[in-house]
Amino acid sequence: MTREEIITKLKAIATPYVLNKSLLDAYNENTDFIKDLEINSANLVDIILDVEDEFGIEVNDQAMDGMLTVNDAVAVIQKELSK
């Protein structure tokens, strides 16, 4: 899976949790889920669970700790997929 494909999939995963959809217009690899998309911190857990389901990986507590931006998530996903 290419980096671009992962970034696109992440956008689809995040979208249901974004209340103000216009914030998605500026979505890019540097987007911060909480700060830029105003996703509620309790919903970040749902995004992580969705990532686990979508990519068939496990995101452990340590990986979750630093999964705040799209770039962070891509790094975690690529690392897990390469295992």
Which chain residues interact with other proteins by CB under 8 A? 17, 34-35, 40-46, 48-49, 52, 61, 64-68
Least Å distance, CB 45 to other proteins, is 5
Q: Helix or strand or coil: residue 69?
A: strand
In this complex, which beta carbon is closest to other proteins, that of residue 31 or of residue 43?
43
In this complex, which beta carbon is closest to other proteins, that of residue 5 or of residue 42?
42
Q: Quote the CA–CA distance of 61 and 28 in Å, as a whole number.
A: 25
Picking from 1, 39, 35, 2, the residue whose alpha carbon sits closest to that of residue 14 is 39
Site of tokens 């889920």:
33
Rg of the chain taking only CA atoms, in angstroms: 12
In this complex, which beta carbon is closest to other proteins, that of residue 4 or of residue 58?
58
Beta bridge partners of 32: 69
Least Å distance, CB 15 to other proteins, is 14
Least Å distance, CB 73 to other proteins, is 11
